[in-house]
Structure 1
Amino acid sequence: MGATLYTHPSGTGTSFRVWAPNASQVYVSGLFNGWYGTSAPLASEGNGNWSLDVRNLGHGAHYRYVLDTVNGQEWKNDPRAKDITNSIGDSIVHDPSLFPWSGSFSTPNWNEMVIYEMHIGTFYDNPGSAVGTFDRAIQKLDYLADLGINVIELMPICEFPGDYSWGYNYAHPFTVESSYGGVWGLKNFIQEAHDRGIAVLIDVLYNHWGPNDLDMWRFDGWGLSTYGGIYFYNDWRAVTAWGDTRPDYGRGEVRQYIRDNALYWLEECRADGLRWDSTVNIRTQNNGFGGDLPDGWSLMQWVNNEIDWFQGWKISIAEDLWSNEWITKDTGVGGAGFDSQWDSDFVHPVRNEIVIPDDNNRNMYALRDAIYHYYNGDAFQRVIYTESHDEVANGRSRVPEEIWPGNAGSWYSKKRSTLGGVLVMTSPGIPMIFQGQELLEDEYFRDDDPLDWNKLNLYGGIHDMYRDLIRLRRNWYNNTRGLKGQGVNVHHVNNNDKVIAFHRWDQGGGGDDVIVVVNLRDRSYNSYNLGFPHGGTWRVRFNSDWNGYDSSFGNHPSWDVQANSGTKDGMPYNGNLSIGPYTAVILSQ
């Protein structure tokens, strides 16, 4: 389907094939025939598909379909176009063999991933200039590699109206936003990321499309009432918060379209995984409050099975936010088959407890439950974070800004927001940060407001703290392997003094067992007694109160701990720790 280049003994050209079951005739038009609408008719295959081979037509040719419909003659872009001039422009024939891929790349294991959510349009750009591009973002890949990031999750990059958008209104699901650099820009970005050991995930939109500049809308002229025709439901099931454009998951051709789209990003574009936006609006009609859509559930199962079969080493992540363990259960037992899902049972309690201004009102048991939360007994079936594009917009701000509105650079904001970062990097799950979080970015997310990279100089120490945390999370120094493991035991919860401690491990033993201690009260403790799983010396690997992270930090001396025999917190050994106010300490042997 779409425009496919061919080579025959008789010559080369482009084969056009399109689904338009209600059109009485379909033509293809372009520069090759002077944009004469009816000189190149496609032949009906008798099953709703139309096809034509055009000789001597190759890469870069502009074209559109012309359809004879009940509403008259209509010009439409190819729903499967791989390249386009802009959202209301022309489709472009694309030859994927021309991109010079090089080298090989292995997607990180789930337990090794550290994700950086990125919006290409605002990641690296100058205020008042044109929108950010893939080429501009490439200039910061070395920075991200040094930070320790090994996975970039791109917010939607498909063609949308205009140049500025979050991306969740895309009109052409197989094309890449032209203002970002198009499909060539995307492939180059992925190649450059892979060259630096960084995987790339793509945020895909299957709960709705458009609603503007949507050539698929009544593509062949047909549609019931006010609904959108062959690609969409034509009844109450079409209705979403973003327009009446929910795809018809029960129609074979639409299911195939979505399946092919998912595999396109993974196969031809060599992305390393997908993040599915709002899967609750694929499986239900109204964000979880309306009727179930069984066809949507079976679609997710089928596409995930196809990904597992053809690209099984790549990850499929759901944003469902209903704490539904069936999202990440295997399809063989009735689950949707996702590998992981964004975890609302982590982000909301953690943000709440670090934002609350009064220490006495913090609920350390809520933090305990957030740390413990698993899906199906697997720590890495959840993605954990304190900031994402949704959590720092839609009436909410960045965590430092929420801690002290108008004073995000305050001591309190720096201390407590970074405790959220500690919990993200040390709790069980796949950790994720949002672009600029490591710079103490304070602005709520907008598609026309780029990151302020001057903050890297202003808050370079905060950046260094995130770098150190990420390196510990990835066990760069071979002494914190437990942070990549399944094991967790929240063995100490002191709701009066606002201290929580937990043990992380993979196989256990030296270089593996990790103890994380978090003090969420504005006071220090000089001899705080805690349980430890083993005796001997526990080395301080990280102290968030170090004044190298910020000159206003107190540099409270958190010395190595000697654990001696004596039961404490259900553990056989105990030791005394010194810890500063609003501080986290990470120890291992």
Structure 2
Amino acid sequence: MSDTGKITGMGAIPHSGGVAFRVWAPHARQVAVVGSFNGWDGNSHPMLAEENGYWYADVTKAKIGDEYKFLLTTEQGTLNRIDPYAREVTSSVGNAIVHDTYFDWEGDDLRLASWNELVIYELHIGTFNDQEKINQPGHFSSVSARLGHLKRLGVNAIQIMPVGEFAGDRSWGYNPSHIFSVEMTYGGPKAFKQLVKRAHQEGIAVILDVVYNHLGPSDLDLWQFDGWSENGRGGIYFYNDERAHTPWGETRPDYGRGEVRQYLRDNAMMWLEEYHLDGLRFDCTQFIRTVNGTDHVLPEGWSLLQWINSEVSHKFPGRILIAEDLMNNRWLTRDVGAGGAGFASQWDAMFVHPIRLAVVTPADEQRSLAAIRDALCYRYNDDAFDRVIYSESHDEVANGLQRVPQEINPSDPKGWHARKRSTLAAAMVFTAPGIPMIFQGQEFLEGGWFRDTVPVDWDQCEEFHGIVRLYRDLVRLRLNRDGFTRGLCGQFTQVTHLNEARKVIAFHRWDKGGAGDDVVVVANFYHEAQDDYVIGFPAQGAWKLRFNSDWQGYNDDFRNHPSTDVRTEPGEKDGLPCHARLSIGPYSVVIFSQ
């Protein structure tokens, strides 16, 4: 409560004596709050004008669960508007609901893993597991039903595509109508909190996509919210000149206006505070920091990112903030104090595109191992884990692209070539430096392309249980669960061997070095096995084979090529002091450690 006796906050604020309401509408002549508590009578509860265009009312008759709207009298007439800060709505074109933010979080004490020990699973609520309701989108509870699978797989974080209320019942989520409200088709705010708590109980963190580069564009009450507009554009929440334009419509928020900056900042903080989320992934930040996605800079967009990230770092230390930026800007993951945007990590196009190309290219001789080497070793700054690496994401398997097995062999996406080369890509994801991420269903060869109307085919989880095991084994090695692959969590990578003619690449991963730490990864991007093949090793002695992607246990028609433990001999090879002879199957990866 402020010194004036008024309740602080925005939107609907329940308190012991009723509900206070506050809204920003600087061009309105009068504002009233109407709802189920006053028979939707615009004369019952007029709001008082405050400074800087804010309006306030305290309604003793209002209570949690009541529906309401703001009634604005403007030069353009009377406007009914949904509260921009509404925590809950009946639908994207319905009414706001006075929301009870209380939730029983007792026992919710998950601590997010350090960046070098994160494994992320990206999913879409509507299609991840919608089998409970035929022809209906999935629900937060249906995701909870599959958390056991994710835990067994070994992932320790799920990244959820946007859940802010959007137009209609089916969407990717990148068309938010009400960014403070949770999509009711998915179950609404309480169900989302239940999913977060349940995930935390299973040791799985929850990261959420947020969309601040544009809003809507449909079912958007923010558009000309208080009747004012310049040039026929969006009004107080948006730019009203050429800066309004984005690839998704002319609805870029006005990052230079204090009230709009506060609105976006408050939204980010809400997800972390009220929903106990472990991190946020910011969609398409290049359209926040620039007008056109390339060189027409928006300084106020950059400073907004810095402000939000600084606030989160201060108030919620240990949470992860991830940027998606197709321009691969190194300053995104530098500290704000050094002039950076302050993100912890960013999606890495410098990894996914070369790796996908390497495995989907039909002819072996056209695969570029130099491109694979560069993808493995790329860094934005001094931290190997300031990038998220993947071979599939929602963007990479839609919009003209398909799932990796489908791209490899459109006529037989479950066949030998598709299985072998898609798992080759997966092995690169889990052995390269960076935060590994997979997309829903990838672990059992989900085919086709991503659509918000087509659910994941969970029957394939059983059909390709061996491939699921392959992913599980890779995750286990990546996280050093057995204590002999610490190097996969380490900062250091050296590509020691690259044979373009025979399509073999080998690299050394380490943290501090030595037994239990040093890891050697060998990948064969050729359709034939390589026998009696000599590569360098960093130390003498026995090196145990920890993983062989050609093992028949992963699929009946894998060739089970006889890769074995090796014993190195003194003698320089590949710039390393020792060497050994090994065998590796076609389109396969083997991993060694001491």
Same fold per superposition (TM over 0.5): yes
1:112-154 C-alpha deviation (Å, 9 max, x unpaired)? 1000000000000138421100001100001101100101000
1:373-522 equivalence runs, <5 A: 373-522=378-527
Alignment map for 1:6-85 (pairs within 5 Å): 6-7=15-16, 12-85=17-90
Residue in 2 aligned with 1:119? 124
Aligned residue among 146, 169, 177 for 1:171: 177
- The aligned counterpart of 1:199 is 205
Distance in 1, matches of 2:22 and 2:512, equals 54
Are 1:521 and 1:581, in contact at CA under 8 Å, matched by a contact in 2? Answer: yes
Aligned to 2:297: 292
Post-superposition shift, 1:57?
2.4
Return the alpha-carbon distance in structure 2 between the equivalents of residues 103 and 125 of structure 1: 26
Letter in 1 for 2:294: G
**How far off its partner does 1:66 sit?**
0.5
Distance 1:38 1:196 in 2: 51
CA deviation profile, 1:186-245 (whole Å, cap 9, x unmatched) = 100100000000000010000000010101111111011221000000000001111100
Q: Give the SS at the match of 1:84.
A: coil
Q: What is the CA–CA distance in structure 2 between the aligned matches of 1:456 and 1:543, rounded to whole Å?
A: 21
Q: Report 1:275-314 matches (<5 A).
A: 275-288=281-294, 291-314=296-319
Residue equivalent to 1:229: 235
Any conservation in 2 of the 1:503–1:513 contact (CA below 8 Å)?
A: yes
Q: What is aligned with 2:365?
A: 360
Find the partner of 1:552 among 554, 557, 560: 557
Structure 2 letter corresponding to 1:115: I
Match of 2:244 in 1: 238
| CA displacement, residues 358-403 of structure 1 (integer Å, 9 cap, x when unaligned) | 0011110100000000111211100000000010000000000111
The residue number in structure 2 matching 1:3 is 12
**1:56 Cα deviation from its structure 2 partner:** 4.2
Contact 2:112 2:278 in 1 (8 A): yes
2:156–2:203 contact (8 Å) kept in structure 1: yes
Moved more, 94-103 or 184-193: 94-103
Give the CA RMSD over aligned residues: 1.0
CA contact (8 A) 1:279 1:320 kept: yes
CA contact (8 A) 1:101 1:191 kept: no
Residue type of the alignment partner of 1:5: P
Paired with 1:100 and 1:297, the residues of 2 have a C-alpha distance of 34
Q: Does 1:261 align with 2:270?
A: no
Do the aligned residues in 2 keep the contact of 1:491 with 1:569 (CA within 8 Å)? yes
- Matching residue within 103, 112, 115 for 1:110: 115
Q: Structure 2: how far apart are the matches of 1:51 and 1:360?
A: 70
Q: How far apart are 1:103 and its partner, in Å?
A: 3.2
Counterpart code for 2:167? P
Aligned-residue offset at 1:265: 0.4
Could you tell me how far 1:27 is from its partner in structure 2? 0.6
Matched, 1:567 2:576: no
CA distance in 2, matches of 1:247, 1:63: 25
Q: Distance in 2 between matches of 1:128 and 1:418?
A: 32
Separation in 1, partners of 2:434, 2:496? 18
2:531 pairs with 1:529: no
Report the Cα offset of residue 33 of structure 1: 0.2
Gaps of 5+ in 2: 1-9
Deviation at 1:46, TM superposition (A): 2.6
Could you tell me which amino acid in structure 1 is paired with residue 34 of structure 2? Answer: S
Cα deviation, 1:411-445, whole Å, max 9, x if unaligned, reads 00000000000000000000000001001011200
Which structure 1 segments of 5+ residues have no match?
none
User: Which position in structure 1 is the counterpart of 2:341?
Assistant: 336
Q: Which residue, out of 348, 354, 357, partners 2:353?
A: 348
Cα contact 2:37–2:61 (8 A) shared by 1 = no
Deviations along 1:269-322, one digit per CA (max 9) or x if unpaired, are 100000000000001111225x11111011101111111111121010000021
Find out whether 1:144 has 2:150 as its counterpart. yes
TM-score, length-scaled by structure 2: 0.97
Q: Deviations over 1:417-476 (max 9, x none)?
A: 000000000000000000010010112000000000111121111111001101111111
SS at match of 1:211: coil
Code of the residue aligned with 1:167 in structure 2: it is: G
User: Could you list the per-position Cα deviations for residues 35-57 of structure 1 after superposition, in whole angstroms to 9, with x for gaps in the alignment?
Assistant: 11231111011321111111142
In structure 2, which of residues 77, 83, 91 is the aligned counterpart of residue 86 of structure 1?
Answer: 91
Query: For 1:88 and 1:18, how far apart are their aligned partners in 2?
Result: 18
Looking at structure 2, the residues matched to 161 and 406 of structure 1 have their Cα atoms a distance apart, in angstroms, of 36
Task: Supply the distance in 2 between the matched residues of 1:416 and 1:401 (Cα, whole angstroms).
Answer: 11
Q: Give, as a single letter, the amino acid of the residue that structure 2 aligns with 1:176.
A: V
Write the letter of the residue equivalent to 1:432.
M
Contact 1:41/1:52, CA 8 A, preserved across alignment: yes
Aligned counterparts of 1:458 and 1:174: Cα–Cα separation in 2: 40
Check conservation: 1:38, 1:66, Cα contact below 8 A: no
The CA distance in 2 between the partners of 1:383 and 1:543, in whole Å, is 24
Moved more, 37-46 or 79-88: 37-46
Separation (CA, whole Å) in 2 of partners of 1:396 and 1:537 = 44
Q: Is 1:249 aligned with 2:255?
A: yes
User: Hey, what does 2:6 align to over in structure 1?
Assistant: none
Listed one character per residue, the Cα deviations across residues 59-99 of structure 1 (whole Å, up to 9, x for unaligned) are 21111110001111111100000011110111111121244
Mapped contact 2:87–2:180 kept (Cα < 8 A) = yes
Per-residue deviation, residues 314-349 of structure 1 (Å, max 9, x unmatched): 010000021210111111111111110000000001
- Select which of 198, 210, 216 maps to 2:216: 210
Report if the CA contact (8 A) 2:549-2:588 is conserved.
yes
SS of the residue aligned with 1:146?
helix
AA partner of residue 275 (structure 2): C
Moved more, 455-464 or 411-420: 455-464
CA distance in 1, matches of 2:375, 2:268: 32
Letter in 2 for 1:113: L
- Name the SS of the counterpart of 1:587 in structure 2: strand
Note if contact 1:99-1:184 (Cα within 8 Å) is conserved in structure 2. Answer: no
Q: What secondary structure does 2:307 align onto?
A: helix
* Identical columns (%): 54
